[in-house]
Amino acid sequence: MNLNFFVLYTILTVFSASTALEYAPIVNTKHGQIRGLINTVGLWTKSYFYQGIRYATAERFSKPVRVESFDEEIYDATKERNSCPQFLNGLGNTDVHHMTNKSEDCLFLNIFKPIPNIEDDDAKLLPVMVWFYGGGFQCGTIFFPLYDGTYLANYGNVIVVSINYRVGPFGFLYAGTEDVPGNQAFYDQIMGLEWVRDNIKSFGGDPDQVTIFGESAGSFSVSTLVISPLAKGLFRRAIMQSGSMVPTIRFSNKQGAIDKTLKLAKDLNCEQQEMSKIIKCLRSKSMEEIKNVATDSIEKMISNQMIGPIIGDAVLPKDVSRFQHGSNGPVDILFGVTRDEGSFFVVHFLPELKDNNIQMSEDKIRENIRKILSFYHIQDHEEIENYYIKRIDTTDYNQVRKMFADFFADLRFNCPVVLFAKEIAKVNPENRFYAYRFDRLSIVSDKMHCYDWMGVCHGSDILYTFSHPFMNYYPPDARLSHDMIKSWTKFARTGQPGPIGPFEWPKAFDSNNNSSIQWMLLDVGYRTVIDIYENSCEHLWRKQYVDWFAKKSSIKDEL
């Protein structure tokens, strides 16, 4: 599987190669001077690229500490810096294991700026788009070539920023103490946004026109920042691509987080009576020792068995996570999913789905649904089984396989995104909301570990959001990518993504009713539909999320 992604990586880097290093203008920031380079993608698309700017430092398991000044007279932002340690096997994004240096010293950000034309007004500040990568909070890096912001910056005339944040135990370990608070990754993201607020004007960006966007765990992060009191005032708009923090099994309460810390301590022979001694022991271990015991499979990640986000701290207080206060003021939100979010993931629970010839009885189908639900401690399974089984011919294996993919997509992606938007709209009706579903079967699906029956997989929209040189060889895909970039950046500029192509993009919610959602379907053609997920999300899954959150909140947090 890794080989396929290296093929794509090679394509991108060959087209991105520059014959000679050209320098971008030196920028004066509050922390010192920064020298960047001119980045060339494809044959002629260029941007100013300030790569690997240090925005913070951090002790292991602690909150980040702001960088006050650079050590160098002129900071060298012409070279790739460290990625954070990675903790997940079996996901395409984990090919970062082979691409960059990994170190706990990894709190860097990238900035892409369009090279101005002679006639451009240098005094006019550009909108800013800040990207948070996905990877299940266990892997990811801003140095992954798919996240090159050159096309996005040029076609959309925006400043693109991407922020490294810690993942796995280094990003989320919780000990109930001030120096091991949990949710360190979110503190990283917030500090990165504070750096943008304080410095982006020096790069020609407007600190009052910041849009945060991300995919998968990055989208989860975006939704968390939308309602976190610590992120208030740091951005104006948000784009959520396939994920939200609607209380699902991805969260732990504090006791659950402590249990995971104790398990890690046991695995590393750090069992002690006092938490302070446990943390001291964990801090004495090498990065590789921790990686060796904490790195695990994708099924462990998606069933919340790995160290991850917690509820009930300063980033996400309980009352905020119940949506009682809505978003941090007037935050416009563009949200969406891909058509077949669940197909890539469900095969990790049920490997037999990869077999094109296998047959599955109705009893076995029900057993497998219960198997997946058991990972999420959902006991009320009969209603869920009946809902999905009654929609298909159980003797048609293609329908059975598609049913499992839809079931998992609703559980983990579709309904969390839908219900998050609805809850925020209830409390903040003055905010603008727009919805999309990405329906294009990618020309490089197999390079994204998305094969045959899987359809439009999770993550398929990333290539089109950022665009890449090979797109130019497929005109329909190039047009779709350019239209999406135009819509994403128009939303960042105005709060409205439309029109797209010749079509108006309607608001997601009617002014008098936020129960129905109008979706823009993104393919080589465009059309709008209403209430794609209403039945499953409102009538089936909403109750499960409410019950889950009530159970999480009923456990005492005082430790």
List active site positions: 216, 341, 458
- Whole-number Å distance between alpha carbons of 454 and 457: 6
**Which has the closest alpha carbon to 153: 272, 290, 41, 231?**
41
Handedness of CA 303, 305, 311, 316 (dihedral sign): negative
Distance of CA 238 to the CA centre of its chain: 12
- Whole-number Å distance between alpha carbons of 142 and 51: 10
Strands of 277-374, DSSP E: 332-338
Asked if 320 and 247 count as a contact pair (C-beta separation under 8 A), the reply is: no
Strands of 178-273, DSSP E: 180-181, 205-215, 237-241
Asked if 499 and 505 count as a contact pair (C-beta separation under 8 A), the reply is: yes
CA dihedral 310, 314, 319, 322 (to 10 degrees): -40
Residue 327's contacts (CB-CB under 8 Å, 6 or more residues apart) are 226, 227, 333, 424, 427, 428, 431
Start-to-end CA distance of the chain, whole Å, equals 43
| SS3 (DSSP) at 5 | helix
- Whole-number Å distance between alpha carbons of 452 and 404: 15
For helices 397-409 and 382-389, what crossing angle results, to 10°? 130
Query: Number of helices (H) and strands (E), helices first, in the chain?
Result: 19, 18
CB neighbourhood size of 319 (10 A): 11
- Phi, psi angle pair for 477, to nearest 5°: -70, -35
Cis peptide before 499, with omega less than 30 degrees from 0? yes
Residue 309: DSSP 8-state: -
- Whole-number Å distance between alpha carbons of 127 and 489: 8
- Whole-number Å distance between alpha carbons of 536 and 418: 11
- Whole-number Å distance between alpha carbons of 418 and 397: 29
For 347-356, give one letter per residue: b (16+ CB within 10 A) or e.
bbbbeebeee
User: Could you write out the DSSP letters of every residue in 313-335?
Assistant: SSSS-HHHHTTSS-SSSS-EEEE
Residue 43: exposure state from Cβ atoms within 10 A (0-12, 13-18, ≥19): exposed
**Alpha helix (H) ranges present in 435-474?**
462-466
